Amino acid sequence: MGGHVFTGSGPIKREDIKPTLTRFIQEFVRIFPKAKGHFEGMRTLGSVGKKAESGDIDLALDEKAFDNIKDWGISPKEVEDYFNKFKAKARVATKQQLTKRAVICCIADRLEAESPLIKVETKGSANGTLFCQFPQYNSEGQELGKEVQVDINVGNLDWLQFAYYSDSYEGNVKGLHRTQLMLSLFANKGCTFSHNYGVKNKETQEVIARTSKDAINLLNSLYDLELTPEILSNYFKLQDYLKKHLDKEELHAIWDRYLKILDSTRCDIPDDLQEYWLDNQDRLGLTGKFLPANSKLYAFRDV
């Protein structure tokens, strides 16, 4: 979900996900043997295993796994050094967020020093994500000569599954299309949506929703709607519901935000919004820079 951050990583076939993850976790546990129990509760997120091919593998690790850093063979001094470094530059991050980021960076240091297989990148550590790159394997245990990106997202499991979930991958719509539409709904009401920790009031920086139930209740309160988990988990159902229950001005304000977000994301524009994209490209300054070559809008890029 964080986009590709490694050169050389590519998509993985559905049948190769399980053997690849098995090897990935084995290598992780080899470096961090005391943390073995935490990996048993790790879950996949988003479209992993739901399509014939996945661009990367997103995993959810319960943030409680960091409650005792001794499980990771990390010293308090290592964490403190990173914590103080981040605190000096942080403007709004909480102590919990800074500590999580510090532990992630310590884990990355160990992997970089001791694992010949797992490559790491900590650019997402501020949001609670460790980006990894790992060789792909098939069910016979053979290395396939290519690599896949594996993102470990550390947070509340209920929230992570809600934030990344989508029950539909029809046509050119991916899981991120559902999530970014939901993000646009919050942004339109002055809220900041994070995949890793919840929803904040943008002005006060207070976290106002930490669970899926809280987030749904908040949206219903902000828009005077009756959204359900079933509606919010499906891009098409959510779009249909919004078209029926929001006035045109507010709906278009949400779509404007949505298309601006997608314009900086490596994805296509959902078919149902392509006409709106064309009609408002100049007004919104949409470049189409990251549109895939097979997009119907590719010829209209302004790059």
Helix H or strand E encompassing 60: strand 57-62
293 phi, psi to nearest 5 deg: -60, -25
User: Number of folded domains in the chain?
Assistant: 2
- Classified as helix, coil or strand, 191 is strand
- Start-to-end Cα distance in the chain: 24
Residues 130 and 188 in one domain: no
Residue 1 lies in a domain: no
pLDDT of residue 278: 98
pLDDT value of position 168: 65
**121 shares a domain with 34:** yes
> What is the mean pLDDT of each successive set of 10 residues along the chain, which is 303 residues long?
73 95 96 94 79 88 94 95 93 86 96 96 87 97 96 92 79 90 97 90 92 96 96 95 98 98 95 98 97 96 90
Question: What is the spatial distance between Cα 173 and Cα 271, in angstroms, rounded to a whole number?
Answer: 8
Same domain, yes or no, for 63 and 149? yes
pTM for this entry: 0.81
Same domain, 212 and 277: yes
At residue 3, the pLDDT reads 58
**117 CA to centre of own chain:** 23
Q: Give the residue from 155, 185, 206 where a domain finishes.
A: 155
- Residue 136 has a pLDDT of 98
Residues 23 and 143 in one domain: yes
Q: Determine, yes or no, domain membership for 213.
A: yes
Structural domain including 192 reads 168-294
